[in-house]
Amino acid sequence: MTLLQVLRVALRALGRNKMRSFLTALGIVIGVSAVIAMVAIGDGAKARVQQAFETMGSNMLVVLPGSTTSGGAMGGFGSLPTLTWEDLSAIQTQLSAVRYAAPYLRTSSSVVSEDTNWSTSVAGTSPDYFAVRSWPAARGALFTVSDVEGSTKVILLGQTVAERLFGQGVDPVGQQVRVRNVPFQVVGVLAAKGQSPVGQDFDDVVFVPYTTFSAKIQGGLKNLLAGTIFVGATGPQTTALAESQVRSLLRDRHRLAEKADDDFSIRNLAETASAAEEGARTLTTLLAAIAAVSLLVGGIGIMNIMLVSVTERTREIGVRMAVGARGRDILLQFLAEALALAVAGGIVGVTSGLLVAWRLAMTFGWPVLYRLEVIFVAVAFSGLVGIAFGLYPARRASRLDPIQALRFE
């Protein structure tokens, strides 16, 4: 018999028991759909994590001041000013792995336009901050170094603040707003940043030069920097080096003993992103392993049903052998049936897995990333499962004695 004839006979045999064939392939369908859905969702989750951290900034370190201690209770990093303006200058000028360094001073206040007001975060910083955060202006322009040096009263609005004060689609550049009764001219509106992974609205903020912030909005602490320092490394590969250089510089400047704890904290967002991606990767691997077990169970189901089929069709096998069918023909027929069940289950599983992944991604707001190689491997693996678990029933059928098979009732 040719392979085409073997396949035709196998499909005809499966078609005689459509419901049983479907239930047999169901384990493969579930396993393959689980593999496809979990890998697609896992890749989408990793992409979402990467997108979230890219939104926060690239190659970024955040240097926080020290913590207070009162009655044995630690206040947490940022509660005690330990960073100085000289520290900032040293980070900017003395470290080879650092490209940008910017102060970040923050308070909350109402921003008032002619018609309305909005309570938001008011931050004082320098132009380097927007380079660290990869945050361009959507309208107008960023303030400049000369604005910082001259303590000019200019302000940048986040998208949320601009829409709340002036309405959606209105260009506020050139308008005036007041912060704590101090008039500021709007020089730009920042591009939309969206939300952080925990729901913080990055666009609900306004920025002014840090010198203006200290002089007009919230007085400083003389030489102490009452805020944090945002540091941008020269590239993704130098972020860890920049962290090491910043730590060594600050420990040296703060005259800390060798075994003394740091009086500051450095947050490396690249490490946080890697940890989050590793967590998503581990979860994807775990779910894929569970899906592989489903495929194994589906393969066992195919073997059981094929054994039942061999028993039911013993007389048919005897007749075929009596009219000239060889053991190899019987073997190929039952292998073809098992392979057809597994591949059909794999194809249906791929379709259902893609639909499930798309639906879950729409529910959680994640991107859906389909990998063709995963789809091909899943279908090929389902076929391999069919051959592996169909081989024993097929060999058993091919070794039946024709005379005994004809006598079987």
Measured CA distances, 256 to 78, 79, 248, 252, 275 (Å): 18, 19, 10, 7, 30
Q: Are 92 and 109 in contact (CB under 8 A)?
A: no
Rg (CA), the chain: 34
Enclosing H/E stretch for 90: helix 85-94
Say if residue 242 is in the same domain as residue 105: yes
Q: Which of 228, 231, 199 is nearest to 106 (CA)?
A: 228
Residues 118 and 228 in one domain: yes
Name the nearest CA neighbour of 189 among 154, 143, 168, 158: 158
- Per the DSSP assignment, residues forming a β-bridge with 39 are none
Q: What's the residue count for the chain?
A: 409
* Residue 277 confidence (pLDDT): 59
- CA 45 from chain centre, in angstroms, equals 3
User: Domain check: are 96 and 188 in the same one?
Assistant: yes
Clarify whether residues 48 and 77 are in a common domain: no
Quote the CA–CA distance of 120 and 280 in Å, as a whole number. Answer: 34
pLDDT at residue 76 in the model:
47
Print the domain residue range for 184: 66-263
Q: Which of 266, 381, 409, 355 is nearest to 33 (CA)?
A: 355
Residue 134: both structure tokens together: 């990869």
Residue 58 lies in a domain: no
Contact 34, 287 (CB under 8 A): yes
Closest CA to 43 of 287, 270, 269, 272: 287
Say whether both 211 and 131 belong to one domain: yes
Contacts of 296 (CB under 8 A, 6+ apart): 31, 385
Whether 144 and 74 map to the same domain: the answer is yes
- Decide if 57 is inside a domain: no
CA distances from 273 to 101, 267, 276, 341, 392 (A): 21, 11, 5, 43, 49
**How many other CB atoms are there within 10 angstroms of residue 325's CB atom?**
17
Residue 153 resides in a domain: yes
pLDDT for residue 1: 53
- Considering the domain boundaries, does residue 158 fall inside one? yes
> Which contacts of 221-225 are long-range, i.e. CB under 8 A and separated by 24 or more positions?
221/81, 223/84, 223/85, 223/86, 224/81, 224/82, 224/83, 224/84, 224/85, 225/65, 225/81, 225/83, 225/84, 225/85, 225/87, 225/88, 225/103, 225/105
Q: Cβ distance 69 to 300 under 8 Å?
A: no
Domain-embedded: residue 236: yes
d(CA 330, CA 336): 10
Q: Per the domain annotation, does 286 fall within a domain?
A: yes
Contact 331, 394 (CB under 8 A): yes
Asked if 342 and 213 sit in the same domain, the reply is no
Q: Buried b / exposed e across 192-228, counting CB within 10 Å, b at 16+? A: ebeeeeeeebbbbbbbbbbbbbbebbbebeeeebbbb
Least Cα distance to 134 among 275, 34, 236, 28 occurs for 236
Residues 101, 212, single domain; the answer is yes
109 and 237 part of one domain:
yes
Q: In this structure, is residue 291 part of a structural domain?
A: yes
Total domain count, the chain:
2
**Where among 263, 293, 309 does a domain terminate?**
263
Please state the three-class secondary structure of 117-138 as a single string.
EEEEEEEEECHHHHHHCCCCEE
What's the token pair of residue 362? 């729409």
| Domain match, 238 and 170 both | yes
For residues 316 and 246, membership in a common domain is answered with: no
Q: Give me the residue label for tokens 């479907």.
A: 22
DSSP annotation of 88 reads H
pLDDT digit of tens for each residue in the chain (409 aa)? 565 665 666 566 666 677 777 777 777 787 788 777 777 777 776 676 666 655 555 588 999 987 644 444 444 444 577 899 999 999 999 999 999 999 999 999 999 998 899 999 999 999 999 998 889 999 999 999 999 999 999 999 999 999 999 998 889 999 999 999 999 999 999 999 887 666 688 899 999 999 999 999 987 677 889 899 999 999 878 888 999 999 999 999 999 998 888 888 898 876 565 555 566 667 667 766 766 776 677 777 777 777 777 776 677 767 777 767 777 777 777 777 777 877 888 888 888 888 888 887 777 766 777 777 777 877 787 788 777 877 777 777 777 766 665 665 5
Residue 398 within any structural domain of the chain: yes
Helices (H), 108-186: 127-132, 145-149, 159-166
pTM of the entire predicted model: 0.61
> Which 3 state secondary structure label does DSSP give 328?
helix
* Domain end residue (candidates: 243, 263, 283): 263
Task: Among 232, 263, 294, identify where a domain stops.
Answer: 263
Tokens of 37: 């859905």
Residues 382, 282, single domain; the answer is yes
107 forms beta bridges with 122
